[in-house]
Amino acid sequence: MTATDTWAFETTRGSVLVGPSELRFRHGVTGALAGSFAALAAGRLPPVVRHGGWPGLALVTALATVAMEWAWSDGVTVQLVLGLLGVVAVFSGSLVSAIRLGADAIPLRTVEHATFEDGTITVAHRTDDDLTERTIRPRNDAERADAALALRLRGVTLRGIADDEAVSRTVVDAPKTELVV
């Protein structure tokens, strides 16, 4: 737990922060890229592009500048090299910015339960009148155990933890509680 009363556990696509009022999903670079490829395969606009904002506009401008310099020059020039370095810098900044802005959250008051099964955690939560599920894949058994403890302490009903060897008996037998700040 941190000074802001937040627990965190690492997943295969980033990390999950379990705060007093929400589950916040932070995506790492690999998670953002995997999500982008999945969105493109489904025919949707990748989240990285949607959350690009000003850094994304700077990237497009830098790419256009390099393309024009390349088309009008006879070979490798100083301007072309500097332009390519600018593209790399802007691309890196755009990616980091899009990943940060692309974090999403689930309010804890909407979470119905979390099911632990086959090394994954499925969080069922209400969106409007529908029950939506989100699958989380912790990196290892220790992270799965941390997730169970954090979710239990935030009052989430846990299913399937009685047979999970990674989750300690303390978490399994603990009553459903809520953190008092």
- Domain boundaries in the chain? 7-37+103-173, 52-101
Best CA proximity match to 86, nearest among 59, 53, 52? 59
Per-residue pLDDT reduced to its tens digit, 88-128: 777 776 666 666 555 678 999 999 999 998 889 999 999 88
The pLDDT tens digits for 48-60 are 565 555 666 676 7
Mean pLDDT over all residues of the chain?
A: 76
- Domain 7-37+103-173 class, CATH top level: mainly beta
pLDDT at 123: 94
pLDDT score, position 27? 72
pLDDT band at residue 161 using 50, 70 and 90 as cut-offs: confident
pLDDT for res 69: 76
Q: How confident is the model at residue 3 (pLDDT cuts 50, 70, 90)?
A: very low
Res 152: pLDDT: 86
Residue 87 has pLDDT above 50, yes or no: yes
Q: Which of 124, 129, 98, 127 is nearest to 112 (CA)?
A: 124
First and final C-alpha spacing in the chain: 12
CA-to-CA distance for 180 and 106, rounded, in angstroms? 20
| pLDDT tens digits, 74-84 | 766 777 677 77
